[in-house]
């Protein structure tokens, strides 16, 4: 039972109408409601209240609905509310228990591919907190779409080409130390790059030197190619350490350099087709009909730009994978770039692949300012990860002082990184996020550790029930569940598939994060107010163990989709 099933059944009775199936904010308003009466009222020129009653009466008479709903009622001014029956809820609980970790998954994406382009660090530069948002949002979306049956291609589009590499090569040739690069690759390369820019202030000729070195790189000079590949490999090794710690994976790291040889033919093709035109020695694409400024695709010196490489990348991806969607997880500041790219795609006749810019806000400190050190330096991702894991270790030590150092470290990594991820993912991605360490690690608030603690708490009940708990649950038919608390929790669990689907459709992981927080609150209330292991009614005890087990499984599944681990204890 989900919103899609309900919508299809209603649409069969009232074809040709646009309406929505929604979940109300409070159970007293039903388990689902529809706004169909408003659509029919507009078409038939009648009052929604009059039509709403007719809809409720017609649907109530359907056999399929009699098996599922206790009642279907009209609600002013034009809504129809649906209340699930207790028998159906109990049967659903048993089915969900049997489905295990597959509950909520679907095959809606079967046979369709989606490319998700996320993280995108620059070679020879350290990852900062801005990269974290792209990495975590992209990973969560990839997990969600895979759960729904799509073939997801996780693409890390590396920033590994451009004039900055000419400057870096020039800097290394003048001041580089091979041993220093091998020992601390990204730190050393960054220092060389910064020094080059500092020296340029008093020696402007260095800029031309950097351009010459990049031109040699483009032309295939063996020495420069060797240096560039070395810098890239060293950087990837450093990135891999962070990705492993974050539990993030990719299918390909093909970046800008992969498309370098396509730049000249691409510009020539666009010019021949009169899509691009010359302007002051440069090549541009006019986008006036889209309400956008011209897109510069080639500089007057013949150099390509980021958007040129993105056009080549887009065409390559479509030709090779024929994806249903391509999703770019990149910050708000790149909005114009993607508006131009998608407009150019339209000009090129790319119609069958949906293109989405999943944009996101900044990372701010506690005072609402851009997160930085006291010296104004951008905070590095590895620094943030280390700090949050250290803080989490203190929380874990306080909760479980008897744990070994190894156990504490493992749990601290799961809790700390989970706190970081949830702090990002529980906010609407369009918003800026605030790094408030205390709130992030608050075990009793809207936080990752709170959800993990709730899971561990529910899991502990099963552990206390002993090895026979599973056998007991399988013998239960769930019919002894009778209280409002029992059914509130089942209803919330039943919403999980719709929530996962909505998160995918809206490209908003925070929809899932909010649901998990609400589920955790209900589960904790249930745990505190309802006898489970101490229930003297043996059959009801088995049924409630099943309910707690299902709630724990859904929490774990949801956290897993967000890329957050679920330790058995904290």
Gap between the Cα atoms of 444 and 528, Å rounded: 14
Domains of the chain, first to last: 3-84 (3.30.1360.70), 162-254 (no CATH)
Q: What is the pLDDT of residues 381-437, one digit of tens each?
A: 888 899 999 999 998 988 888 988 899 999 999 999 999 999 999 999 999 988 888
**DSSP alpha helices (H): ranges in 184-280?**
185-202, 205-218, 222-246, 263-272
The band of 295, judged by pLDDT with boundaries at 50, 70 and 90, is very high
- pTM for the whole structure: 0.93
pLDDT in tens, 147-200: 999 999 999 999 999 889 999 999 999 999 999 999 999 999 999 999 999 999
Looking at per-residue pLDDT, the higher value among 376 and 164 belongs to 164
Which of these, 473, 477, 475, 490, lies nearest to 530 by C-alpha position?
Answer: 490
Residue carrying structure tokens 């900055």: 164
pLDDT tens readout for residues 513-542: 999 999 999 999 999 999 888 888 888 888
Report the distance separating Cα 532 and Cα 267, nearest Å: 69
Give pLDDT, residue 218: 86
Can you give the pLDDT at residue 418? Answer: 97
pLDDT confidence of residue 366? 67
- Distance in angstroms (rounded) separating the CA atoms of residues 314 and 133: 23
pLDDT at residue 128 in the model: 84
Upper half-sphere CA count for residue 315 (Cβ side, 13 Å): 18
Rounded to the nearest angstrom, the gap between the alpha carbon of residue 156 and the centroid of all alpha carbons in its chain is 14
Q: pLDDT class for 376, splitting at 50, 70, 90?
A: very low
* Cβ atoms 181, 168 nearer than 8 A: no
Distance CA 417, CA 537 (A): 41
Q: Which residue matches tokens 């009642």?
A: 71
| Cα atoms in the Cβ-side hemisphere of radius 13 Å centred on 11 | 12
Report, in this order, helix, strand and coil percent for the chain, each rounded to 5.
Answer: 60, 10, 30
pLDDT at res. 139: 99
| CA 224 distance to own-chain centroid | 38
What's phi and psi for 564, nearest 5 deg?
A: -110, 130
Number of H helices, E strands in the chain: 23, 13
Over residues 204-210, mean pLDDT: 93
pLDDT of residue 472: 59
The model's confidence at residue 468, banded by pLDDT at 50, 70 and 90, is low
- Residue 372 in this model has a pLDDT that exceeds 60: no
> Is residue 373 scored above 50 in pLDDT?
no
pLDDT at 26: 85
If 0-12 CB within 10 Å is exposed, 13-18 middle and 19+ buried, where does residue 237 land?
exposed
Give the number of other CB atoms < 10 A from CB of residue 558.
26
For the chain, the average pLDDT equals 92
Output Rg (C-alpha) for the chain, integer angstroms: 28
Q: Decide if 132 contacts 170 (C-beta within 8 A).
A: no
- Which of 181, 141, 142, 135 lies closest to 158, judged by CA? 135
Burial 257-289 (b: 16+ CB within 10 A, else e): bbbbebbeebbeebbeeeebeeeeebbbbebee
What is the percent of the chain where pLDDT is above 70?
A: 96
**Better pLDDT: 466 or 372:** 466
How many beta carbons lie within 10 A of that of residue 177, not counting itself?
Answer: 11
Please state, in angstroms and rounded to a whole number, the distance separating the CA atoms of residues 549 and 318: 43
Q: Count Cβ neighbours within 10 Å for each residue of 69-108 and write b for 16 or more, e otherwise.
A: beebbbbeebbbbbbbeeebbbbbbbebbeeeeebbbbee
Report how far apart, in Å, the C-alpha atoms of 278 and of each of 153, 229, 271, 304 are.
36, 34, 8, 14
Nearest-angstrom CA–CA distance, 186 and 126: 6
The answer to whether the beta carbons of residues 295 and 340 sit under 8 Å apart is: yes
**Half-sphere exposure at residue 42, Cβ-oriented, CA atoms within 13 angstroms:** 7
Residue 475 has a pLDDT of 63
Burial string for 448-471 (b: 16+ CB within 10 Å, else e) reads: bbbbbbbbbbbbebbeebeeebee
183: buried, middle or exposed (CB in 10 Å: 19+, 13-18, 0-12)?
exposed
Mean pLDDT along residues 275-297: 96
């Amino acid at each position: 039972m989900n919103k899609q099933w309900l919508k299809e059944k209603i649409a069969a009775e009232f074809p040709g109408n646009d309406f929505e199936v929604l979940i109300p904010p409070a159970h007293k308003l039903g388990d689902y409601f529809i706004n169909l009466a408003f659509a029919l009222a507009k078409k038939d020129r009648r009052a929604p209240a009059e039509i709403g009653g007719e809809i409720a009466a017609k649907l109530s008479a359907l056999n399929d609905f009699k098996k599922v709903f206790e009642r279907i009622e009209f609600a002013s001014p034009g809504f129809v509310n649906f209340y699930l029956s207790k028998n159906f809820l109990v049967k659903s609980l048993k089915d969900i228990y049997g489905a295990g970790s597959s509950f909520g998954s679907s095959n809606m994406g079967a046979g369709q591919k989606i490319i998700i382009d996320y993280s995108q660090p620059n070679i020879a530069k350290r990852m900062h907190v801005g990269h974290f948002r792209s990495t975590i949002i992209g990973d969560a979306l990839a997990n969600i779409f895979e759960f729904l049956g799509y073939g997801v291609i996780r693409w890390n589009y590396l920033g590994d080409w451009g004039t900055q590499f000419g400057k870096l090569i020039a800097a290394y040739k003048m001041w580089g130390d091979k041993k220093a690069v091998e020992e601390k690759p990204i730190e050393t390369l960054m220092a060389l790059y910064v020094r080059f820019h500092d020296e340029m202030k008093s020696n402007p000729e260095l800029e031309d030197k950097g351009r010459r070195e990049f031109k040699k790189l483009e032309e295939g000079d063996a020495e420069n190619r060797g240096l560039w590949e070395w810098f890239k490999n060293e950087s990837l090794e450093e990135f891999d350490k962070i990705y492993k710690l974050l539990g993030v994976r990719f299918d390909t790291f093909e970046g800008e350099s992969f498309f370098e040889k396509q730049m000249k033919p691409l510009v020539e093709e666009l010019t021949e087709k009169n899509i691009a035109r010359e302007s002051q020695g440069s090549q541009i694409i006019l986008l006036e009909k889209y309400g956008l400024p011209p897109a510069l695709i080639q500089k007057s010196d013949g150099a390509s730009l980021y958007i040129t490489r993105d056009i080549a990348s887009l065409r390559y991806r479509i030709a090779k994978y024929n994806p249903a969607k391509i999703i770019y997880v990149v910050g708000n500041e790149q909005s114009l770039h993607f508006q131009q790219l998608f407009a150019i795609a339209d000009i090129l006749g790319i119609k069958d692949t949906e293109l989405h810019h999943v944009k996101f806000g900044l990372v701010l400190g506690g005072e609402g300012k851009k997160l930085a050190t006291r010296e104004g330096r951008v905070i590095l991702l590895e620094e943030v990860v280390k700090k949050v894991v250290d803080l989490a270790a203190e929380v874990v030590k306080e909760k479980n002082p008897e744990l070994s150092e190894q156990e504490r470290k493992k749990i601290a990594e799961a809790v700390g990184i989970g706190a970081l991820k949830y702090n990002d993912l529980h906010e609407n991605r369009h918003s800026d996020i605030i790094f408030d360490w205390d709130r992030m690690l608050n075990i009793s608030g809207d936080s990752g550790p709170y959800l993990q603690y709730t899971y561990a708490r529910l899991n502990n009940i099963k552990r206390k029930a002993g090895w026979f708990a599973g056998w007991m649950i399988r013998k239960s038919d769930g019919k002894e569940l009778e209280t409002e608390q029992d059914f509130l929790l089942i209803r919330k669990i039943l919403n999980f598939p719709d929530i996962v689907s909505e998160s995918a459709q809206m490209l908003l992981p925070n929809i899932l994060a909010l649901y998990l927080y609400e589920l955790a609150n209900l589960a904790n209330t249930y745990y505190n107010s309802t006898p489970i292991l101490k229930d003297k009614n043996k059959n009801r005890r088995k049924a409630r163990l099943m309910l707690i087990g299902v709630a724990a499984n859904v929490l774990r599944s949801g956290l897993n989709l967000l890329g957050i681990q679920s330790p058995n204890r904290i």
